[in-house]
Structures are given as structure tokens and as C-alpha cells.
């Protein structure tokens, strides 16, 4: 009678939801453990990190073996991979990979990211010269042989959300045009989390706008008939997801601080739009963008009761201290409109970047 000997490697797998992350309800951490060895654990000491455009930040990530104090078993090389999560939970953007002495960064992260490596179990990622596009959630994955584990860290930026519509008027942007409109104004299309925080801070706007996940929403702090009804509760109203090519709405943009000087140009006369552009250039600057006036108003407390041209052809003025004749009821960036560029005369807001 012949006997057969089977060598069985028993592995145990289970899934658990990621804690403190309602926006990643589909995200699951998959653990793989060999029963005859300690389990690999990856830990982020902080779930959220705050920074600002132009700064440097460290996204924390360390790995351990359960019930041991060692970083790795020594049997396999450790592979560390950082990716950025997207609104489509099945897609991720590669950021950085390290294995042994090999290092590779990707896309806009090239030359700006590296591992901190303060200890043998430190997989924390340092991002330098933070960009607006860096905002979001990042996944740290550590792989050793058949074992792997992940941790997620959210990178939040200090900034301001503002509603935007072009000269053509209300509800004229498809999703891709909305993205470009924000970029043209020194900003990016806002996320739901950013709009929600703006609503909590008092943003009230009755026009629906695109968000980065492709949804269309708007924030209401003072319910009223034209905006969902006066008997409804305050909140962020959700129109749902619409066709990104055919559907047309406004957009909510997000911007952060800037490395430069925003100012109202003192000039002896009022100017047409073309004269305003040239006046800023003559002063060693450029005509300011909508995102820059909002950032100066919200983050620097900029206040001036003079309407001025901006790069998109709109005329606005920022009020941080409400007073008679200058937005008496609220602090806001006041919108005059899109006047005739050739015949209407106004002042101008300029922006001079620092090198």
C-alpha cells in the first residue's frame, strides 16, 4: 500500500474595513498570514496630515511583525509601495516604489518624494514642494514574501473652496471643462470632503457644481424656496452622478496659499480689460486669477472695497471686514460680473510670483 505525503501550506486570509474613512467604504485591507510565522502589520501613526501648497510633508507609515520587535524576518526583501487612491476605488495612481537599494517615483511625484527611513521599519513617505493636486488619500503597502499589509493616510491642504461659472453664465461646463476652468484660475476641482468642510464653515451657494468624483452638489446653510425649499434642513445637496460629456453645471474649485504677492494696483485712471493686463505687466506682475483673490481674502484676510479686473474677465473685490457700502452683511469676495472688456473701466488686481 502506497502512502502519499502532502505538504500543505495553510494560509489564512480575512478582510476588514479601513477605520475612520467613510469616503473609502469600498476599501478593504487584505491580510495574508502564514500560520507558522508572525503576521506583518503596517501602521499609520496619524490618519490625517495637514499641509499647504509649497510646503513639505511626511506621510507616516511603519511596519512590524506581530508579537515580535523586528521589522522583517530577514528571509525576504521588503518591498514598499506608495499609491494615491482615487474616487474610483479600483484605480490607484503609482507614487513611489522601493525594494532594497532600488527606488522609483512616478509622474508629477518624480524628484519630490522619498522614504524617510529613520529606522529599519520606517516606510514613511516625504513629499516636498506640495502641489494642489497632491491632496487626497495615500496607501502605504509593505510586502515581504507572501505577507503584505497596508495603511491609508489622508493628506489635507489648508485652503478655500469657491464656486465658479464662466462668462457664458450659469450651467455651461461639462466635467472636463469644469476641471480646466479651475486649473485656469490657479485651483483644482474640489472634492466632496473639501466642499463639506466649506459648508461647515458657512459656505452657502444655490447653484449646483461639479466635484472631483464626478458628482454634482451644492451647499446650503440657509434653506429657502429656490434652493430645495425653506423647510428643508441645511446640508450639502446631492444631484448625483451625471454624464461627464453632456451634462452641464457650474463647478466648485479649491485653492491654497501662494508664493507671491497679491495686490490692488494703484493707477491714476480706471482701465479697460486690455489696459489692466498691460498695467500689471508694466508693474512686473500679471493680472490676478480668481483663485488668487479667494486665497488672499480667506487665508490672508485681504480686504479692499475697490472693484478690479481679474484674468478671466470678471470684476470682483474682497471684503474681510463687512461695512456700509462694502458688503455690509457678510465677509465675501463680491462679484460684479463680466463687464464689456473694451468699454467698461475698473481698477485691477495683480499678482507677482516670488522666485
Q: What is the pLDDT of residues 195-240, one digit of tens each?
A: 999 999 999 999 999 999 999 999 999 999 888 888 889 999 999 9
pLDDT at residue 1 above 50?
no
- Answer yes or no: do 273 and 234 share one domain: no
Domain with 137 in it: what CATH number?
A: 2.60.40.10
**Which residues make Cβ contacts (< 8 Å) with residue 127, sequence separation at least 6?**
56, 57, 58, 59, 109, 112, 113, 134, 155
Q: Which helix (H) or strand (E) holds 186?
A: none
Does a structural domain hold residue 10?
no
pLDDT of residue 213: 95
**Which residues make Cβ contacts (< 8 Å) with residue 308, sequence separation at least 6?**
264, 265, 276, 315, 316, 317, 346, 347, 348, 349
The domain boundary, picked from 199, 222, 253, lies at 253
- Answer yes or no: do 188 and 142 share one domain: no
Tell me how long the chain is.
Answer: 355
Does a structural domain hold residue 204?
yes
**What is the rounded average pLDDT of the residues 38-59?**
93
Does a structural domain hold residue 244?
yes
Best mean pLDDT range from 66-70, 74-78, 311-315: 311-315
- Answer yes or no: do 162 and 148 share one domain: no
Query: Which range of residues forms the domain containing residue 307?
Result: 256-351
Asked whether the whole model's pTM tops 0.85, one would answer no
- Answer yes or no: do 176 and 273 share one domain: no
pLDDT of residue 67: 57
Q: Order of strands across the sheet with 113-115?
A: 57-59, 125-127, 113-115
For 248, the grid coordinates are 452641464
The domain boundary, picked from 234, 253, 272, lies at 253
DSSP state of 84: E
The count of domains in the chain is 3
Does a structural domain hold residue 162?
yes
Residue 265's pLDDT band (boundaries 50, 70, 90)?
very high
pLDDT at residue 37 above 90?
no
- Answer yes or no: do 337 and 287 share one domain: yes
- Answer yes or no: do 130 and 174 share one domain: no
Domain with 275 in it: what CATH number?
A: 3.10.100.10
- Answer yes or no: do 164 and 149 share one domain: no
Amino acid at each position: 500500500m502506497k502512502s502519499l505525503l502532502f505538504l500543505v501550506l495553510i494560509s489564512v486570509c480575512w478582510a476588514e474595513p479601513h477605520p475612520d474613512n467613510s469616503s473609502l467604504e469600498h476599501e478593504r485591507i487584505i491580510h495574508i498570514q502564514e500560520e507558522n510565522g508572525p503576521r506583518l502589520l503596517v501602521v499609520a501613526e496619524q490618519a490625517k496630515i495637514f499641509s499647504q501648497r509649497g510646503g513639505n510633508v511626511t506621510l507616516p507609515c511603519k511596519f512590524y511583525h506581530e508579537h515580535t520587535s523586528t521589522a522583517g524576518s530577514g528571509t525576504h526583501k521588503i518591498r514598499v509601495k506608495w499609491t494615491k487612491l482615487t474616487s474610483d476605488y479600483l484605480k490607484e495612481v503609482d507614487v513611489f516604489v522601493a525594494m532594497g537599494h532600488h527606488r522609483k517615483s512616478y509622474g508629477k511625484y518624480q524628484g519630490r518624494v522619498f522614504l524617510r527611513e529613520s529606522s529599519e521599519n520606517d516606510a514613511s513617505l516625504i513629499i516636498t514642494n506640495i502641489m494642489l493636486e497632491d491632496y487626497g488619500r495615500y496607501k502605504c503597502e509593505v510586502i515581504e514574501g507572501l505577507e503584505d499589509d497596508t495603511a491609508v493616510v489622508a493628506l489635507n491642504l489648508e485652503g478655500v473652496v469657491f464656486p465658479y461659472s464662466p462668462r457664458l453664465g450659469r450651467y455651461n461646463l461639462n466635467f472636463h471643462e469644469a476641471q480646466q476652468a479651475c486649473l485656469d484660475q490657479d485651483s483644482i476641482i474640489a472634492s466632496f470632503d473639501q466642499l463639506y468642510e466649506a459648508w461647515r464653515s458657512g459656505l452657502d451657494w444655490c447653484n449646483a457644481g461639479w466635484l472631483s468624483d464626478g458628482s454634482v452638489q451644492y451647499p446650503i446653510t440657509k434653506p429657502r424656496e429656490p434652493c430645495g425649499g425653506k423647510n428643508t434642513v441645511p446640508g450639502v445637496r446631492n444631484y448625483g452622478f451625471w454624464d461627464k460629456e453632456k451634462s452641464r453645471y457650474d463647478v466648485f474649485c479649491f485653492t491654497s496659499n501662494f508664493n507671491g504677492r497679491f495686490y490692488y494696483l494703484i493707477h491714476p485712471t480706471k482701465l479697460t480689460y486690455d489696459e489692466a493686463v498691460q498695467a500689471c505687466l508694466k508693474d512686473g506682475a500679471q493680472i490676478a486669477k480668481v483663485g488668487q483673490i479667494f486665497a488672499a481674502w480667506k487665508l490672508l484676510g485681504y480686504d479692499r472695497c475697490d472693484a478690479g479686473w481679474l484674468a478671466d474677465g470678471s470684476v470682483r473685490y474682497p471684503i474681510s471686514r463687512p461695512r456700509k457700502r462694502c458688503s455690509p452683511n457678510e465677509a465675501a469676495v463680491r462679484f460684479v460680473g463680466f463687464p464689456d472688456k473694451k468699454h467698461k473701466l475698473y481698477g485691477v488686481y495683480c499678482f507677482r510670483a516670488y522666485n
